[in-house]
Structure 1
């Protein structure tokens, strides 16, 4: 019966910037100057946090969008905090790996906060970072996660979880990138869910391949076990193990909590 069911189911002025190329985030330029702490509080209250920049492509996209939105030259708060000469952390908790310091920076002997230079008329618009005094007043860039996750701490079989998410949200969660997964795992931690949770991927009984139930393309996978063999003629579903931070091939009739999603 389960297999049959699954086969059937197959206040401040803001400049809103263009959606991130991976469709993960919206960016928001906050024109009202404020200190770093107040800028972060504003971003967390209205969006997700001050912007986190993880690679050159993302940085250039943000700078190009500032140009398209006709932003003037500015020194803008980003989500770097606790900067001490050579290090720092992202305010949302992401690992600090990509760096784009201005020449000679960081050089502040006091604990500082991160700001970014934007020069409208330069070819690459600069985009380098400085360790600024946190009490200075500057404009800021916030980001908002485009896909919101909603954990449901109520154990169900996969098909019941699927039906629940379709009834109350957009569907069972899909994971399109490592950063998507990072935000989902953070949400599970904040909701104190430590056991495996259903997500919206299952296998095809006929062809044996995996697919997202909402027809999202599979652009990212993070399996703990081998999924290449033994799934034809048998339907498996997918759970995310927050302890191992990996996906698990699991019998759909097992019971687990689950994660739904909504798109903004």
Structure 2
């Protein structure tokens, strides 16, 4: 057997990631408990109630029983924000510091502090000096503040109505920030600085929802209709079989999902040429701090620089013009993978909204069935259409209010996009030995995901229709006037650079798709996103990706002739496939064989 030493060169973009196993293993528990009981069970039997970092985590979920909703580890404990100022990641923070209250002083109107409909995450002061939580997009006048040389706060009333984020930007441009109030004396001074009956923005805000295991990831996958916080008391989160999330009363019994984290040990051998005393604990600590590897939950990640550098461009262009500019001057319009990326944004000029690289090109889903990540897919395959056949009612195919991502078939055999949470009867299907589809009408009204689960449990899946003949058979299988679910769905929004990142940071009110024509995305100075008409001129954010080269020495023990170009090509292809399956499509491999010694 010959032994070869190979130098493997990876051309990647700023990061080297090595993994052994996914960091968490997920387990469905077929026992109905309240959220806190489920949390206790998971902590006793596994690690904790399930945490998810990305859509990849959700796609690894596999229940071995049928269910409608299941608890997982996201919650918004009111003790952190309602009964005190709190010191948790979902507690109230002051805009001027980005931190929790240093003094614990508060002046909340307890009767209105309720996170109404899951939307109120900013604070305003009323005529009596009491604080109230409000929807951040509401328009109020505002209080800014400055600090004197004697470290005393002066409050300035601004008699202009605007949203909280616009008020924050105004105060930062013209004063120090939105009003920060840390004791009763300051609260009285702030009250006296404004008209007695006015409701005004102050600098309090919060980022609701935290993970049971303390993870700080910002990934969310809320149901298309968003949160509703019924009776202002839904503080725990559940997931359905389609992996959409909603808020729920924490004491309702549901099955649940736990996760298990296995600690792993990996040893790296490194050689240092140095005059330093390597037995000195301080030297060792400094090297560990400066070196670029960190270990987390079974993963080793080594980084040199953040994978993208972001650049604000102070030039008002429409979305496609901004995309072209970024591709010519940098890499592309900005892509973001996490809140860490957003936190690195720093504009050197004032702006209200700026283009980013997220868009929902209608050509991929409205004018054809498409073959893009935001195109329509069949539930039975999880893939885009194989035949391109469609029967859309063009008048209604509009992604109304940014909510319609599932499909129905109507009275004349035409398809319509609809809100997945609506209740309709539905069509399932089976496939015969002759590969012919049979359609079965189910006269029960339920949501699309519940209909999908029903069909998968009792038949093959929700109806899949690939030609005109099958569409006619599906139409005949149901009452002529009925609107019923079929198996089409889509996941809207794609990144300009083709990245598959599922990270989103929508404005608290979510999407609205005004006139069914807002297919591009802007971000505000608070880094919240909104859909917008693509032809409106805005400033924009580009990103630059730097190409990096890493060389690895690998040793193969094999009977194969490693000098054979076909063998080398086959191995490279398999390695590239492994990297791609792990989401690393941005790495290119080359190699050369070192001479035998």
Normalised to the residue count of structure 1, the TM-score between the two structures is 0.46
Structure having the higher Rg:
2
